[in-house]
Amino acid sequence: MTYFPLPRGTISIFRTSTAKQLKGMINGGPPTCPANLESDCGDSDEWKGEFFPGIPKIKYEGPSSKNPLAFKWYNAEEVILGKKMKDWFRFSVAFWHTFRGTGADPFGAPTKNWPWEDGTNSVAMAKRRMRANFEFIDKLGVDWWCFHDRDIAPDGQTLEETNANLDEVVEFAKELQGSKIRPLWGTAQLFLHPRYMHGGATSSELGVYAYAAAQVKKAMEVTHYLGGENYVFWGGREGYQSLLNTDMGRELDHMARFLEAAVAYKKKIGFKGTLLIEPKPQEPTKHQYDWDAATTANFLRKYGLIGEFKLNIECNHATLAGHSCHHELETARLNDLLGNIDANTGDPQIGWDTDQFLTDIAEATMVMQSVVKNGGLAPGGFNFDAKLRRESTDVEDLFIAHISGMDTLARGLCNAAKIIEDGSLAELVRKRYASFDTELGALIETGKADFELLEKKALQWGEPKVPSAKQELAEMIFQSAL
Ligand code: XUL
Ligand code: CO
C-alpha cells in the first residue's frame, strides 16, 4: 500500500474548518473528504438507509454477462480441484484502501467524495464508516476484511485515549461482523505518525521501540478479540535511508527481539492465528529489512524464528524487488512460508507501489499455480491490498474493482486447474529432469554421491548430451490454457 496523505494544514482546509474538524485533523491526521468540510462534524454514526443504494448483492452470472455488477468467473460455491472457489480464495477487503483511500497523491488533493464522509476523523465517523464497510462486504459476498489499528479508529491525545477510541470502534465492529465475517488479519500502523520516522522496532530511540511494542500488543489483542485468523507485520519504516548513520546489525537484532516478544505475547493471550511478515524492498525507506521472501526467510532462520512466522506475499512488492509475484510465491512455498497473498499488481511503466487490482490473466494463472501447489492458503487468503485509481470516483467503482479482481483470480484458478488436469506442462518438467530419475540421480539427491564417484562417471561417459529446455513449448502449453 502507498500512503500519500494530504499535507497537513494547507491554508484552504484550515480556513474552512470548524474547531471540531481541526481537532480531528490534528489528532488523527488529514480529513478524508475536504469537499465536505462545510458539512457539520457528525457526532453521530447515524446514517439513514443504505450506504450503497442501487447496488444489489453481487451474483454470479457467467462469462457471457455484460453486467458490471455481476461476477463472470467467480462462482463461490463451484468446486475446482476438490475445493470450493470461496475456500481457495478467502477474499478480503482492505479497509485502508476501500474506506480510507482518498485519491490524494503528492501533487494533488483527495478526489474521493464518498457521501457518508463528513470530513472528520471522529470516533462517530469511524463507526459510520465501519457500517459502510460491512454493507460493502455483505453486498460483495466475501467473509473477510483486513485493517490497521489507525485506519479504523482515530488517535487520541494519549496512548490511553487512542486505545479507548480503538476499543469503542472494535466493539462496534464486533457487533456488525455477526457470526460469519471476521478479519483475515489485523495489523498496527507504525509508519504514518512522525514518532515512527526512524522506524518502530528498528527506531534508534528506545521510547519509540516501547511505544511500537505497546501499539502492536493492543493491535494483537483487538485482532484476537474480533476472531482474526492472522496478524501481519509490515515494516513500514523498518529499514534505513543511509548506512552512514545506521547500525544495521543492532537494528536487525532489535527487530528480532521485537518479533520474539510478539510470539510470546501471542502465546500468552491464546491467539492461535498465524503471524505473517510482509516483505517489501523499499518505500517508504530506501532499503527495508524485509526486502523479499528470501531475505526474510534468512532473517527468520538466523534468529530462530522460522517456525513462528509465515509470509504475506504482495505482488506489487515482488515486482518492486525485481521479481515476479510467481517467484516470490514459489520462494515462500518452498520454504514452507506461504501464508497469505496481498492481491494486487504494479504498473510496468511506473516505478512505485501503485497497488492496482490484478487484471492480468496470465499473472493470475501463475499465482494460482503456486496456491494450488501449496494446497491453498488457509488460514490465510487473498487480501485486496489494492485501490482505485485517483480518477475513479464513483462509489460503484469500489465494487467494479473488487469484482474485476475476484474474476481475474477465479479465471487464474480455472486455468491452473486446466494446466494441472492436462498434465503436459508437468510432463515437460518431469522429462527435463529425467536423467536424475536413475540410480546415480538418487544417490546425488540423497547426498550419497561424492566427487570421486562423480568423476568416475564423467570419465566413463565423456561429453554429456545436453537436451533443449523447450521453453517456447512450455509457453505454448501455458498460453493455450488462458
Ligand atoms: C504497504 C502494504 C501495507 C501492508 C499492511 O505497501 O502493503 O498495506 O499490507 O501494513
Ligand atoms: Co500489503
Question: CATH number for the domain including 117?
Answer: 3.20.20.150
Burial 402-431 (b: 16+ CB within 10 A, else e): bbbbbbbbbbbbbbbbebeeeeebeeeeee
Residue 442 shares a structural domain with residue 318 = no
Residue 190 has pLDDT above 50, yes or no: yes
Residue with the nearest Cα to atom 2 of ligand 1? 1
Predicted local confidence at residue 42, as pLDDT: 57
Predicted local confidence at residue 39, as pLDDT: 46
- DSSP assignment of 231-276: EEE--TT-EES-GGG--HHHHHHHHHHHHHHHHHHHHHHT--SEEE
Q: Considering the domain boundaries, does residue 9 fall inside one?
A: no
- Mean predicted lDDT score pLDDT of the chain: 92
Q: Considering the domain boundaries, does residue 8 fall inside one?
A: no
Q: How far is the centre of ligand 1, averaged over its atoms, from the C-alpha of 56 (Å)?
A: 30
Residue 124 has pLDDT above 80, yes or no: yes
394-413: pLDDT as tens digits: 999 999 999 999 999 999 99
- 263-271: average pLDDT: 98
Confidence of residue 48 (pLDDT cuts 50, 70, 90): confident
Residue with the nearest Cα to atom 5 of ligand 1? 234
75-87: pLDDT as tens digits: 999 999 999 999 9
Of 148, 198, 254, 327, the catalytic one is 148
Residue 335 shares a structural domain with residue 264 = yes
Q: Considering the domain boundaries, does residue 463 fall inside one?
A: yes
Q: How far is the centre of ligand 2, averaged over its atoms, from the C-alpha of 129 (Å)?
A: 21
User: Which atom of ligand 1 is found nearest the CA of 317?
Assistant: 6
Residue 358 shares a structural domain with residue 462 = no
Q: Considering the domain boundaries, does residue 358 fall inside one?
A: yes
- 463-467: average pLDDT: 97
Residue 377 shares a structural domain with residue 450 = no
Q: Considering the domain boundaries, does residue 298 fall inside one?
A: yes
Please say if 326 is a catalytic residue: no
- DSSP assignment of 374-418: TT--TT--EEE-----TT---HHHHHHHHHHHHHHHHHHHHHHHH
Q: How far is the centre of ligand 2, averaged over its atoms, from the C-alpha of 117 (Å)?
A: 24
Residue with the nearest Cα to atom 8 of ligand 1? 1
Residue 448 has pLDDT above 90, yes or no: yes
| Single-letter amino acid, residue 391 | E
Confidence of residue 294 (pLDDT cuts 50, 70, 90): very high
Residue with the nearest Cα to atom 4 of ligand 1? 234
CA of 141: how far to CAs of 62, 70, 137, 145, 289, in Å? Answer: 16, 11, 6, 12, 37
133-187: pLDDT as tens digits: 999 999 999 999 999 999 999 999 999 999 999 999 999 999 999 999 999 999 9
Q: How far is the centre of ligand 1, averaged over its atoms, from the C-alpha of 131 (Å)?
A: 23
Residue with the nearest Cα to atom 1 of ligand 1? 1
CA of 128: how far to CAs of 181, 283, 340, in Å? Answer: 18, 31, 29
The domain containing residue 237 runs over which residues? 59-422
- Within 6 A (CB) of ligand 1 lie 1, 148, 187, 232, 234, 278, 280, 314, 342, 353, 385
C-alpha cell at 89: 480464495
CA-to-CA distance for 123 and 19, rounded, in angstroms? Answer: 16
For 464, residues 6+ apart whose C-beta sits below 8 A from its C-beta are none
- 424-444: average pLDDT: 98
Number of domains in the chain: 2
Closest ligand to Cα 185: 1
Taken in order 259, 283, 243, 299, the sign of the CA dihedral is positive
Residue 3 has pLDDT above 80, yes or no: no
Choose which residue among 92, 96, 185, 278 to substitute to test ligand 1 binding: the one with the highest number of ligand atoms within 8 A of its C-beta. 278
Residue 174 shares a structural domain with residue 312 = yes
Closest ligand to Cα 2: 1
Q: How far is the centre of ligand 1, averaged over its atoms, from the C-alpha of 4 (Å)?
A: 13
Choose which residue among 312, 314, 383 to substitute to test ligand 1 binding: the one with the highest number of ligand atoms within 8 A of its C-beta. 314
- Look at residues 422, 443, 468 and tell me which one is the last residue of a structural domain: 422
Choose which residue among 95, 187, 385, 387 to substitute to test ligand 1 binding: the one with the highest number of ligand atoms within 8 A of its C-beta. 385
With 0-12 CB in 10 A as exposed, 13-18 as middle and 19+ as buried, what is 245? exposed
Residue 9 has pLDDT above 70, yes or no: no
User: Which atom of ligand 1 is found nearest the CA of 314?
Assistant: 7
Which residue has 464508516 as its cell numbers? Answer: 129
With 0-12 CB in 10 A as exposed, 13-18 as middle and 19+ as buried, what is 139? middle
User: Which atom of ligand 1 is found nearest the CA of 148?
Assistant: 10
Predicted local confidence at residue 270, as pLDDT: 98
Residue 351 shares a structural domain with residue 474 = no
Q: Considering the domain boundaries, does residue 156 fall inside one?
A: yes
Half-sphere exposure for 282 (CA within 13 Å, toward CB): 11
Of the two residues 353 and 2, the one the predictor is more confident about is 353
Q: How far is the centre of ligand 1, averaged over its atoms, from the C-alpha of 128 (Å)?
A: 24
Count of beta carbons in the 10 Å neighbourhood of residue 438: 10
